[in-house]
Amino acid sequence: MFRLFKYLKPYVLLILIAIGLLFAQAMADLALPNYMSDIVNVGIQQGGVENAVPMAIRATEMDKLVIFMTPDEKATVLADYTLVDSKSADYATYLKEYPVLATESVYVLNKIDAAETAKLNPITGKSFLVVSMIEAALKDPAKAAAMSGSGFDLSKIPPGMDIFTLLPKLPADQLAKMTSSVSEKFAALSESMINQSAAAAIKAEYEALGVNANKLQTNYIIRIGGLMLLLTLASVTCTIIVGFLSARVAAGVSRDVRRAVFAKVESFSKAEFEKFSTASLITRSTNDITQIQMVIIMIIRMVFYAPIIGVGAVIHAAAKSPSMTWIIGLAVAILLVVIVTVFTVALPRFKKIQSLIDRLNLVTRESLSGLMVIRAFNTQQFEAERFDKANIDLTQNSLFVNRIMVVLMPIMMLLMNGLSVLIIWVGAHQVANSALQVGDMMAFMQYAMQVVFSFLMLSMMFIILPRASVSASRVADVLAVQPSIVDPKEPKSFDTKTNGLVEFRDVAFRYPNAEEDVICGISFTAKPGETTAIIGSTGSGKSTVINLIPRFFDVTSGSILIDGVDIRDVKQSDLREKIGYVPQKGMLFSGTIESNLLYADENADEATLKKAISIAQAEEFVNAKEEGMQTEISQGGTNVSGGQKQRLAIARALVKQPPIYIFDDCLSALDFKTDSALRRALKKETGKSTMIIVTQRVSTIKTAEQIIVIDEGEIVGKGTHQELMKNCETYREIATSQLSKEELA
pLDDT digits (tens, 9 = 90+) for 591-630: 888 888 888 888 888 888 888 888 888 888 888 888 888 8
| Full 3-state SS string of 224-278 | HHHHHHHHHHHHHHHHHHHHHHHHHHHHHHHHHHHHHHHHHHHCCCHHHHCCCCH
The DSSP code for 617 is T
Q: Do the Cβ atoms of 730 and 716 come closer than 8 Å?
A: yes
Pairing assessment for the beta strands 660-664 and 632-633 based on DSSP bridges: unpaired
Grade residue 335 by pLDDT with cuts at 50, 70 and 90. Answer: confident
* Phi and psi angles of residue 58, each rounded to the nearest 5 degrees, phi first: -65, 150
Mean pLDDT of 148-160: 54
Q: Do the Cβ atoms of 473 and 350 come closer than 8 Å?
A: no
User: Cβ atoms within 10 A of the Cβ of 606, count?
Assistant: 9
| CATH of the domain spanning 274-480 | 1.20.1560.10
Grade residue 30 by pLDDT with cuts at 50, 70 and 90. Answer: very high
Instruction: For 337-375, give the DSSP string.
Output: HHHHHHHHHHHHHHHHHHHHHHHHHHHHHHHHHTHHHHH
Looking at residue 168, its pLDDT comes to 65
Grade residue 183 by pLDDT with cuts at 50, 70 and 90. Answer: low
Q: Which of 275-289, 348-362, 412-426 has the highest mean pLDDT?
A: 412-426
Q: Which residue has the higher pLDDT, 551 or 194?
A: 551
Grade residue 153 by pLDDT with cuts at 50, 70 and 90. Answer: low
Element (H, E) at 58: strand 56-58
Q: Comparing 137-146, 292-301, 430-439, which segment has the lowest mean pLDDT?
A: 137-146
Q: Comparing 156-165, 371-380, 630-639, 719-728, which segment has the lowest mean pLDDT?
A: 156-165
- Residues 172, 177: Cα–Cα separation, whole Å: 9
Looking at residue 412, its pLDDT comes to 80
Looking at residue 477, its pLDDT comes to 86
Mean pLDDT of 349-354: 74
Looking at residue 257, its pLDDT comes to 92
- Residues 534, 693: Cα–Cα separation, whole Å: 6
Query: What would the pLDDT profile of 199-235 be if each residue is shown by its tens digit?
Result: 888 888 888 888 888 888 899 999 999 999 999 999 9
Mean pLDDT of 385-414: 84
Q: Do the Cβ atoms of 591 and 671 come closer than 8 Å?
A: no
| Mean pLDDT (the chain, rounded) | 84
Q: Comparing 106-115, 145-154, 304-313, 513-522, which segment has the lowest mean pLDDT?
A: 145-154
Grade residue 21 by pLDDT with cuts at 50, 70 and 90. Answer: very high
Pairing assessment for the beta strands 632-633 and 591-592 based on DSSP bridges: antiparallel
- Residue extent(s) of CATH 3.40.50.300 domains in the chain: 585-657
- Residue extent(s) of CATH 1.20.1560.10 domains in the chain: 274-480
Q: Is the pLDDT of residue 16 over 80?
A: yes
Q: Which residue has the higher pLDDT, 717 or 345?
A: 717
Q: Is the pLDDT of residue 2 over 80?
A: no
3-class SS of residue 555: coil
Looking at residue 163, its pLDDT comes to 65
Looking at residue 129, its pLDDT comes to 84
3-class SS of residue 669: coil
Mean pLDDT of 154-160: 56
Looking at residue 268, its pLDDT comes to 81
Q: Is the pLDDT of residue 88 over 70?
A: yes
* Phi and psi angles of residue 153, each rounded to the nearest 5 degrees, phi first: -85, 105
- Residues 427, 445: Cα–Cα separation, whole Å: 9
Percent of the chain predicted with pLDDT > 70: 91
Look at the alpha carbons of 76, 79, 82, 88 in this order and tell me if their dihedral is positive or negative: positive
Mean pLDDT of 553-562: 91
Grade residue 22 by pLDDT with cuts at 50, 70 and 90. Answer: very high
Looking at residue 157, its pLDDT comes to 57
**Could you tell me what percentage of the chain is helix, strand and coil, using 3-state DSSP and rounding each to the nearest 5?**
65, 10, 25
Q: Which residue has the higher pLDDT, 720 or 178?
A: 720
**Beta-bridge partners for 533:** 693, 707
* Helix 59-66 / helix 114-139 crossing angle, nearest 10 deg: 90
- Residues 418, 424: Cα–Cα separation, whole Å: 10
Grade residue 669 by pLDDT with cuts at 50, 70 and 90. Answer: low
Contacts of 56 (CB under 8 A, 6+ apart): 94, 97, 98, 106, 107, 108, 109, 206, 209, 211
CATH number 3.90.950.20 given to 585-657:
no
Looking at residue 343, its pLDDT comes to 75
Looking at residue 146, its pLDDT comes to 53
Mean pLDDT of 502-525: 89
Query: What would the pLDDT profile of 453-499 be if each residue is shown by its tens digit?
Result: 888 888 777 767 777 887 888 888 888 888 888 888 888 888 766 67
Looking at residue 697, its pLDDT comes to 81
- Residues 640, 648: Cα–Cα separation, whole Å: 10
- Residues 425, 430: Cα–Cα separation, whole Å: 9
